[in-house]
Structure 1
Amino acid sequence: MSTNDDQKRVPLLKYWTIRYLLVLVSSLVIVASLSVHWTQEREKKHHLQLNRLFAQEIAERIGSEGKLVISSAMWKRLLSRGRSYFDFPGEDRETKPLPLILIVDREGKAVFQNRAIDNERLLHYLLEKGPVAEEEVMDTLEHGDVAWYIVAEPIRRGNWLIGTVFVISEESVRSAMPFRQIFPWIIVILCLGLSGWIVLYWLSRKLTDPIRRVAAAASRLRQGNYDFRLPHDLKEKELYELTHSFSEMASRLKRSEELRTELLAGVTHELKTPITSIGGLLKAVRDGVVTGKEAEEFLDISLEETKRLQKMVEDLLEFNAHATGTVRIKSETLSLNELIREMAERWKVTNLPPSLRLRTILPEETLWVRGDAHRIRQILSNLLDNSRSAMKDQGKIEIRLYARDPETAAVDVTDDGPGILPEEQPLIFERFYRGKKKKEKTRGLGLGLPISRLLARAQKGDLILKESAPGRTTFTLLLPRAKEKSLAGGIE
């Protein structure tokens, strides 16, 4: 990847923190806007309510006296009540004028007003609504930077409408919400924004830290460095699975690298030794260093070493063929009893030393399986060879056939050898793996068991290590059972 592309990449913590912050700021702006709108609406209702209470008191006083006249004494009382209603602060209490008070009779003729209406927009509004209100009216009129809060209260004497009182207060829209009311909201929003950003940053860091560590481990892994530690105490399921799976993958890669190195060293050693031996023996015969029977013995040894080389090459080729799926496996119905009996007798003749005993335990009923006879023989022969090698050609080997369940037949190959070390048991089916004892005693590539398991699984079965301890080791070959043949020699 180019350097320019790398420069465009943004760290995950920064990427999501910025986006979370933008979402948070946007949300707070929306909340602040709604809060300001709600506060303004509340202020409007508050102004209208004050005007309404003042208008009701004026209407009640005039209605009780029965005439649309406000005397100077009544005006002083209303002025005092009005200032208590509107609660003007400090120095404004005596200087700030009361709202506009307009009283009209039932014909709409103005009989009292505390000051002139000097705004054409307000005057036009009052003319449109009509001078007399038979029911209470509460309304708001905005024009430019000015808002009027208009309340009309009918004046009644008994059940008779004798006039209407208007109370109209004027406020600047810009100053409708004082700073003392906005300031707490500013503090709250700033505190919410700061605390929200801290929480989001902490959560983003907590979320991205395992991912960042996995990315750093992947970079080290790419350079061939397998020494790293990832957190394993994560509570988040997905993050735990990510780190755990990556650690498992790294362990397997490390093991594969070790096996590859071991394979190269092993193959080099295993191939070099017989080649050197063959070369030396043939040179001795050619140069006449040995003659007669000794020369023939040298040639026989060279042939044995050649066969060993050929077996190693065949194992490599066969494993590669099975691993890539290029080997075809036959699927036919077989009598596993007859196949084991025949294979055991043949192995006794060709491979059984005098000090080694082989026992075969077969059930009375015939177990039919689906598989490839040649490959089954190959698996069992490899297990027997391994047992013989482990017991140094002396001891007892047992082959036992039985029905594991209605769907599966099982073949146990048990020996009384020294067993497999516990730490090596999980690795015995790994390709090119050879135990410490086997490295010291026998030569090979460590492909026998991996190939045998591949062959078993290719026949829809499996090969497992059932148990292993000093004095008893058992491998089990599992194969799918088939229906009995209806005719001798017939196929299911």
Structure 2
Amino acid sequence: MRIKSIATKQFLLYVGTLTVCLMIMGASLSVAYTRHYMNGVKDELIEQGRKISSAISKAYVTGEVGNLAYEMQVLEDYMGAGVLLMNDEGVIVLTSPGMDKTLLGQVLAYEELVEGVREGNIVSLQTGSSTVFGTPMMVVGYPISTGSLAGIFMCRSLPEIELSLHEMYRSGLVSLLLAFMVSILVSIVTSRRMTEPMMEMNKAAKVIAGGNFEQRVEIYSEDELGQLAESFNHMAESLQNTETTRRNFIANISHDLRSPLTSIQGFLTAMLDGTIPPERQEHYLQIVLEETQRLSRLAEGVVEMSRAQSAKIILEETDFDINELIRENSAILEPQMQEKNLSLQVSLAEKVSMVRADRDKISRVIRNLMGNAVKFSNADGVIEVETTLSGKNKILVSVQDHGAGISEEDQKYIFDRFYKADATRNQDKTGMGLGLSIVREFLQAHGETIAVKSKEGEGSKFVFSLRLADKK
């Protein structure tokens, strides 16, 4: 069965990783602790051997040799270890009470132990199950040089040592199981906490796909998931703005299409049924022509915007004087400026400023910005056009009016397709909200930028950049 839930996959991944890690850690700790414990037992036996050696030496000096058997019994009871005493000839001459008495008078079968002790070395050995001791033993030999004695053998049962180890293993296993259960609980909580935001985003995405663009997700943290949630909300807001713009566009274009079509239909019907006399028909035919031109401009703007949005803008870059282009467009707009008695102030950075760009498209940018400035300027106002150098290879072109201005909220969307600020609707009867969007697309195709600075009641200033032509 294929697992589809991310939370389940995450949980199984945690559990699998944790299980493998605990198994490796348990095996490593088991080996390390066994080695450490066995070394500790061996060191303890060596230390007891040293004490017995000292006690034997003292007993021979004081003549209290008879007390050795008692001390060996106490040691055997205390440590659980048997003791064997060996003479110079390698023969066992004394055993603790718990050891096999048949060993007395015999030579140990472990030559490496006997020879090592007789040479004055401390030696150790773990015997097998079929041994002279009858059970596996850890034997530590400690050399002495008192009287006829040559060494002491400390013997401790390996099964007893292993029993102690098993008890500790059991405690360690219980601790590991408790740690495993706690880790499982933490994994469940962590998996849910990590996947809940994604599940919430998934549900929100389905809601948005259904047309509800007001859906948002809650941001729980500032990590990658929090950033993803923030990006998701930003996307939803952009979709909502796009949908709002689309609806406004449909409403606007419906109104703007209906108005000229109604006029055209009304005038043509009136001419056909004779309501308009023949001598007045030329006047109304001129109005009909203007309305058809208005519809043509609308269709052309929509098509051009569509091309711009599909990245099909083809640039024909040449070197030209931006100052000359500003003068040409100023002359074209002069009749409109005269109608509102507007004055134009032009401030140029240099007498000649050669730039590298598509001349026709930059001309349309300037004409659009200056045309907007004329539309939204108050009568008897001033329009300012200025060029300034920026860095080594850039020039900034600004167009400023002193009209109604643009609110801060409208400035966020002023370059969006079909967007028209509420404050400008009564002043811009023919526009469709495509001009500034096309301007931005043209400039972005050049790799340049455009920005707006505006304050309500004080006018607006649009600034765009261009690349200077290389000096020859």
Range of TM-score over shorter length: 0.7 to 0.9
Counterpart pick for 2:110 among 123, 126, 132? 126
For the structure 1 residues 378 and 60, does the alpha-carbon distance in structure 2 shift closer, same or farther, using more than 3 Å as the test? Answer: closer
Q: Hey, what does 1:376 align to over in structure 2?
A: 362
1:1-400 superposed matches below 5 A: 8-11=3-6, 13-56=7-50, 58-60=52-54, 74-83=68-77, 85-86=78-79, 99=82, 101-113=83-95, 115-116=99-100, 126-127=110-111, 129-130=113-114, 133-134=117-118, 135=120, 136-143=122-129, 147-157=136-146, 162-172=149-159, 175-177=162-164, 181-182=168-169, 184-232=171-219, 234-236=221-223, 238-349=224-335, 351-363=336-348, 365-391=351-377, 394-400=379-385
Cα deviations by residue, 1:270-329 (Å, 9 ceiling, x for unpaired): 223322321221122112222123322221221111010011011112222222333432
The separation in 1 between residues aligned to 2:318 and 2:439, in whole angstroms, is 19
- Asked if structure 1 preserves the Cα contact closer than 8 Å seen for 2:451 and 2:463, the reply is yes
Task: Name the CA distance, whole Å, in 2 between partners of 1:330 and 1:47.
Answer: 91
Greater displacement, 138-147 / 15-24: 138-147
Cα drift, residue 23 of structure 1: 2.6
1:28–1:189 contact (8 Å) kept in structure 2: yes
1:447-480 C-alpha deviation (Å, 9 max, x unpaired): 0111122223334433321334313222224322
* Secondary structure class of the residue paired with 2:408: coil
Give deviations 1:58-84, integer Å, cap 9, x for gaps: 5555556669x998764234323432x
- Aligned equivalent of 1:93: none
2:445 aligned with 1:458, yes or no?
yes
Q: 1:10 corresponds to which letter in structure 2? A: S
Residue 415 of structure 1, aligned match among 398, 401, 417: 401
1:228 aligned counterpart, secondary structure = coil
Stretch moving more, 47-56 or 245-254? 47-56
Structure 1 residues 303 and 146, CA gap change in structure 2 (3 angstroms): farther
Q: Kindly tell me: are residues 109 and 224 of structure 1, through their superposed partners in 2, closer, same or farther at Cα, counting changes over 3 Å?
A: same
Measure, in 2, the Cα distance between the counterparts of 1:373 and 1:61. 112
Paired with 1:446 and 1:391, the residues of 2 have a C-alpha distance of 18
The range that moved more, 168-177 or 379-388, is 168-177
Among the aligned pairs, what percent are the same residue?
22
Q: State how far apart, in whole Å, the 1-side matches of 2:206 and 2:399 are.
A: 46
For residues 205 and 101 of structure 2, what CA distance do their matches in structure 1 show? 80
- Letter of the aligned partner of 1:126 in structure 2? Y
Change in Cα spacing, 1:155 to 1:437, as seen in structure 2 (3 Å) is closer
Contact 1:234 1:240 (8 Å CA) reproduced: yes
Q: 1:469 to 1:181 in 2, by over 3 A?
A: same
Give the aligned partner of residue 447 of structure 1: 434
Change in 2 beyond 3 A, CA 1:422/1:118: farther
Greater CA drift, 416-425 or 129-138: 129-138
Instruction: State the AA in 1 paired with 2:453.
Output: K
Whole-angstrom CA distance in 2 between matches of 1:60 and 1:346: 121
Q: Contact between 1:266 and 1:445, CA under 8 Å: does it hold in 2? A: yes
Q: Quick one: which amino acid aligns to residue 445 of structure 2?
A: A
Verify the 8 A CA contact 1:105 1:162 in the aligned structure 2.
Answer: yes
Distance (whole Å) between structure 2 residues aligned to residue 455 and residue 338 of structure 1? 20
Per-residue deviation, residues 154-200 of structure 1 (Å, max 9, x unmatched):
34237xx6433333222416853266544543453344334444444
- Of stretches 334-343 and 37-46 in structure 1, the one that deviates more from structure 2 is 37-46
Shift of 1:125: 5.1
Q: Is the 8 A contact 2:368 2:439 kept in 1?
A: yes
Q: 1:456 and 1:58 mapped to 2: Cα distance?
A: 99
1:488 is aligned to: none
The DSSP-based 3-state class of the residue aligned with 1:356 is coil
2:457 matches 1:470: yes
Q: Is the 8 A contact 1:106 1:132 kept in 2?
A: no
Give secondary structure in 2 for the equivalent of 1:133. Answer: helix
Specify every segment of 5 or more residues in structure 2 that has no aligned partner in the other structure, as ranges.
Answer: none
Query: For residue 388 of structure 2, what is the aligned residue in structure 1?
Result: 403
Deviations 1:12-54 (A, max 9, x none): x332233223333333333333444444334434443454455
TM-score, normalization: structure 2? 0.83
Q: Judge conservation of contact 2:319–2:356 (CA < 8 Å) in 1.
A: yes
Q: What's the CA shift string for 1:94-128, capped at 9, x where partnerless?
A: xxxx62x4434322334344543889xxx985256
Matches of 2:40 and 2:330, distance apart in 1: 105
Structure 1 portions without partners, runs of 5+: 89-97, 485-491
* Residue 95 (structure 1) aligns with: none
**Secondary structure in 1 aligned to 2:409?**
coil
How many Å apart are 1:217 and its aligned residue?
Answer: 2.6
One-letter code aligned to 2:401 = D
Q: Residues of 2 paired with 1:344 and 1:10: CA distance?
A: 65
Change beyond 3 A, Cα 1:71–1:389: closer
Cα distance in 1 between the residues matched to 2:449 and 2:59: 111
Please tell me whether the aligned partners of residues 85 and 93 of structure 2 are also in contact (alpha carbons under 8 angstroms). yes
TM-score normalised over the length of structure 1: 0.80
* Inter-partner Cα distance in structure 2 for 1:72 and 1:462: 108
Provide the rounded CA distance (Å) in 2 between the counterparts of 1:418 and 1:143.
105
Distance 1:440-1:352 versus aligned 2 partners, 3 A rule: closer
CA distance in 1, matches of 2:450, 2:116: 104
User: Structure 1 residues 48, 327: CA separation in 2 closer, same or farther (over 3 Å shift)?
Assistant: closer
Q: Aligned-residue CA RMSD in angstroms?
A: 3.5
Q: 1:482 to 1:227 in 2, by over 3 A?
A: same
Q: Which of 49-58 and 321-330 deviates more?
A: 49-58
- Does structure 2 conserve the Cα–Cα contact (< 8 Å) formed by 1:103 and 1:112? yes
Matching residue's letter, 1:473: S
